[in-house]
Amino acid sequence: MHLLAETETWDLLLIVGLFVVLIVGLVILAIFASYFRLWIMSVTTGAGIGIFDLLGMTFRKVNPHVIVRGKIMLVQAGLGEAMGISSKALEAHYLAGGNVPLVIRAMVAANKAKIMNLDFKLATAIDLAGRNALEAVQTSVYPKVIDCPGKGPRVTLDAVAKNGIQLKVKARVTVRANLLQLIGGATEETIIARVGEGIVSAIGSAETHAAVLEKPDTISRAVLARKLDSQTAYEIVSIDIADIGVGANIGARLQADQAEADTRVARARAEGRRAMAVAQEQENVAKIEESRARLVEAEAEVPRAIAEAFRTGRLGIMDYYQLRNVQADTDMRRSIAGIGATSAQAKSE
């Protein structure tokens, strides 16, 4: 009986063991089936990614398809461990939020184009900085053209020569990506602003607008000589004047405005002088009226003085006639003063 119980126990343990082995086998088979295709691709291409590496990627929440295909692309292009691009480095860039396929395509394109200054670290740094690494490589191989001025309400660059004539210019700037300055370098907007500033300065230093119309390439040479691409993500290849036209005569307009302003100032000064003359005239009229009042007051004293002289007996016949002459002279002066006051009042009105 005891022997039978032990036999049944061993049979039970054997069944449990077989069940566990079966479960483990099924799990291994499922994992193997899941990663078999990727593992075969890695083995046949020499990518060097094992089945356990693929399993570890799953636990690290890394997409193994992206890593395996990226590593195969690098190996097939002649890149890989020789340039320090391992599967661990690809996983690290993936976990950092980078675009692994785009970086790998940029590396392959740079290698085919013989661009030796782009390594994996620089490419991943460009990608994590928010720039398109593949587009940067393509721009470095095939320069792009930037219209100046760029997008906005203004369609031309307006500048004025020394003779006052306005010129309207459109330029096309050919640039090549500077991979070493792509991180932290200024973008297209800065290039457009600097080129626009250079064109305006070059036209402003020209003696006449005819000289600029005759040789537009002088603008390009003057702008290129200023090294406007420093500290930018691009290298300026050429600056071409696409269109140039004559605008308004700004110098004549400014001179007309200045003449009008001078005329207004002169009128204001003349009006001030006229007002001062009128005030002076009114002051003179007041003085005349004051003198007339004094004259009337003095005339009023004459009869009184004559009467007093007759009463006291100090006035003779000759003296009386002398006083009459003085009175006549006074009346004449009074008439003249009245005529002058009337004339001054008429002028003021």
> Which CATH number fits the domain that encloses residue 239?
3.30.479.30
For residue 275, tell me if it sits in a domain: no
Residues 94 and 205 in one domain: no
Residues 230 and 169 in one domain: yes
Say if CB 196 and CB 157 are below 8 A apart: yes
For residue 273, tell me if it sits in a domain: no
More confident residue, 297 or 268: 268
User: What letter would DSSP give residue 179?
Assistant: G
Boundary of a domain, candidates 236, 253, 270? 253
Residues 130 and 23 in one domain: yes
For residue 201, tell me if it sits in a domain: yes
Domain count, the chain: 3
User: What letter would DSSP give residue 97?
Assistant: T
Residues 216 and 236 in one domain: yes
Residues 130 and 208 in one domain: no
Token duo for residue 169: 């210019």
For residue 62, tell me if it sits in a domain: yes
Stretch 33-45: mean pLDDT = 75
At residue 237 the predicted structure's pLDDT band, cuts being 50, 70 and 90, is confident
For residue 3, tell me if it sits in a domain: no
Residues 51 and 79 in one domain: yes
Boundary of a domain, candidates 235, 253, 271? 253
Residues 209 and 126 in one domain: no
For residue 5, tell me if it sits in a domain: no
What is the per-residue pLDDT for 294?
Answer: 74
For residue 36, tell me if it sits in a domain: yes
* Rounded Cα–Cα distance for residues 240 and 221 (Å): 10
* Rounded Cα–Cα distance for residues 222 and 60 (Å): 57
* AA identity, residue 154: R
At residue 81 the predicted structure's pLDDT band, cuts being 50, 70 and 90, is low
What is the per-residue pLDDT for 336?
Answer: 58
Which residues span the domain enclosing 299?
A: 281-348
Say if CB 108 and CB 79 are below 8 A apart: yes
Q: Is the peptide bond before 149 cis (omega within 30 degrees of 0)?
A: yes
The total of other beta-carbon atoms located within 10 Å of residue 137's CB is 25
User: Model confidence over 309-334: pLDDT tens digits?
Assistant: 666 765 555 455 555 555 666 666 66
* Rounded Cα–Cα distance for residues 201 and 161 (Å): 9
Residues 235 and 322 in one domain: no
Decide if pLDDT at 30 tops 60.
yes
Residue with tokens 């890593």: 67
Residues 134 and 23 in one domain: yes
C-alpha dihedral (258, 262, 268, 270), degrees to nearest 10: -160
Residues 48 and 151 in one domain: no
Boundary of a domain, candidates 140, 159, 193? 140
Residues 48 and 119 in one domain: yes
What is the per-residue pLDDT for 115?
Answer: 78
**C-alpha R_g of the chain:** 53
More confident residue, 333 or 121: 121
Residue 174 neighbours by CB under 8 Å, 6+ apart: 143, 144, 145, 146, 236, 237, 238, 239, 240
For residue 10, tell me if it sits in a domain: no
Residues 136 and 24 in one domain: yes
